[in-house]
Each structure stands twice: as C-alpha cells, then as structure tokens.
Amino acid sequence: MTRRWQSKRKKEYYYRLAKKEKYRSRAAYKLKQIIEKFDVIHTGDRVIDLGASPGGWSQISSEIVGATGKVIGADIKRMRPIEGVEFVLGDIRDDKTIKSIIEKLGGSADVVISDMSPNISGNYSTDHARSIELCEYALGFAKKTLREGGSFVVKVFEGDLYPEYFDKVKREFRSVKGHSPKASRASSSEIYIIAKGFIGTQPPLVM
Ligand SMILES: C[S@@+](CC[C@H](N)C(=O)[O-])C[C@H]1O[C@@H](n2cnc3c(N)ncnc32)[C@H](O)[C@@H]1O
C-alpha cells in the first residue's frame, strides 16, 4: 500500500464520517483525537478557535464546553452560524480582530486552539514560512488572552523553522508536545503542538 493511497483512503474515510455525523470538516476528528489523548478542553471552558471556518473545531469545542462554557471562532472567511458559538470575521494579524475577540470574551480564555492554514502555494518552504507566521500570531494571541494554567493547541507545517517555534512555545507553558493525530497522519507535513499549563501571570489584555 503506497503512502499516497493510504492518505487518500484516510481522507475519504473521515470525509464520509464527517458527513454522517454532521461535522463541517474532516478536521473535526483531528481535534477530537487530540482532546481524547491530551484532555485539553473541559465542560465550562472558554475556548477561542482561530481559523475556525467552516466550523468543525468549533462544533467539537461547543459540544464539550456545553451551556456553561463559551466558544468564540474567528476567521477571514465567513462561517455559517453554529448554535452556541460566537463568530468574529477578520484577519488574526489585525489588531481590530483581536480587539473584537477580546471584547466578546470579556475575561481570560481557558483554551486557545488554532488550525489556521495559509493559502497553499505548493512551494514547501514558502508554505512552511507562512504557516510559522500564523503560528507566531496565534502564540501572541494566546499570551494576551490565556489565564495562567491555560492550554494552547496549534497546527504547524513542519520545516526548518519548526524547532525554534517549538522552543518558543516551551518557554511559555509547563508541558509541550508535538503530535500527529491519526486523522491527519500519512497525509501531510502538518503537526499539532499541544501546550498545557500557561506560565504567564499577566492579567488579560483590555483593548
Ligand atoms: C484548515 S482551515 C480550518 C478548519 C477548521 N478547524 C474546521 O474544523 O472547520 C484553516 C482556516 O484558517 C483560516 N485562516 C488563514 N489565515 C488566517 C488569518 N490570518 N486570520 C484568520 N483566519 C485565517 C482560513 O481562512 C481557513 O478557514
């Protein structure tokens, strides 16, 4: 069985499952598997989902946090409404977007998750560098909004800048791991960093 064929079969499997279980993306299963393994989202949590469209990660988060929690999704692309999820339309590199999310949050976050991907150019190192840029913004955002002890999950396209970024995350959290969920394995160069126990003690930023 070739790697490409395996990857195609896996994509089809999760695509069908997502349709059947009414999730908006195959990616929903990546977050589901991350949560099962690392226990990062709980009932009552306040979760920010960066790069939320079409909404699979927000659906999963909303199911877990329930009515006592809060989920805010943000994306440059529109997202069809999801019950229990608030949405901010905008670029995460833009201060205005950050301000809107913080206003909606009205306090600190328990978890920041980012599945943001750049527009794929097909050039491996360009796509890697663009992915790292988005990850830097996601980390900056997490540092502004997370409570002490909070968690951060971020997708990175692997490449030569990965170790430096991983070390940066390590400086901010007590436990940091790189993980490739079953739902994405054999498909691409993506890896998820799961960081728990935010060290920062500064109060959440009010903009
Ligand atoms: C792989 S998709 C996310 C899928 C989502 N997790 C789900 O389960 O449905 C990546 C998303 O990142 C968004 N994105 C890329 N750059 C962004 C930016 N600068 N600000 C906000 N969102 C961005 C894209 O618009 C895209 O919707």
Residue positions annotated with a catalytic role: 155
Q: What does pTM read for this prediction? A: 0.94
pLDDT digits (tens, 9 = 90+) for 141-191: 999 999 999 999 999 999 999 999 999 999 999 999 999 988 876 556 899
Give every CB contact of residue 139 below 8 A, 6+ residues apart in sequence: 152, 154, 165, 168, 169, 172
- Residue percentage of the chain with pLDDT more than 90: 80
Residue 78 to residue 80: CA distance in whole angstroms: 7
- Asked if residue 87 has pLDDT above 70, the reply is yes
In this prediction, residue 204 has a pLDDT band, given cuts at 50, 70 and 90, of low
- Asked if residue 37 has pLDDT above 70, the reply is yes
In a domain, 204, yes or no: no
Q: What's the mean pLDDT when you consider all of the chain?
A: 93
Which token pair is 137? 């913004």
Residue appearing with tokens 């929903």:
28
**Given ligand 1 and candidates 25, 41, 59, 75, which is best to mutate, with the most ligand atoms within 8 Å of its CB?**
75
Distance 14 CA to ligand 1 centre (A): 19
In a domain, 206, yes or no: no
| 188, 131 contact by CB (below 8 A) | no
In a domain, 203, yes or no: no
Long-range contacts of the stretch 78-82 (C-beta < 8 A, 24+): 78/53, 79/52, 79/53, 79/54, 79/55, 80/24, 80/54, 80/55, 82/55, 82/58
164: number of Cβ within 10 Å: 9
Helix (H), strand (E) counts: the chain: 6, 7
Domain residues for the domain of 22 are 3-198
Domain of residue 59, CATH code? 3.40.50.150
Work out how many domains the chain is built from and give that number. Answer: 1
Distance 119 CA to ligand 1 centre (A): 9
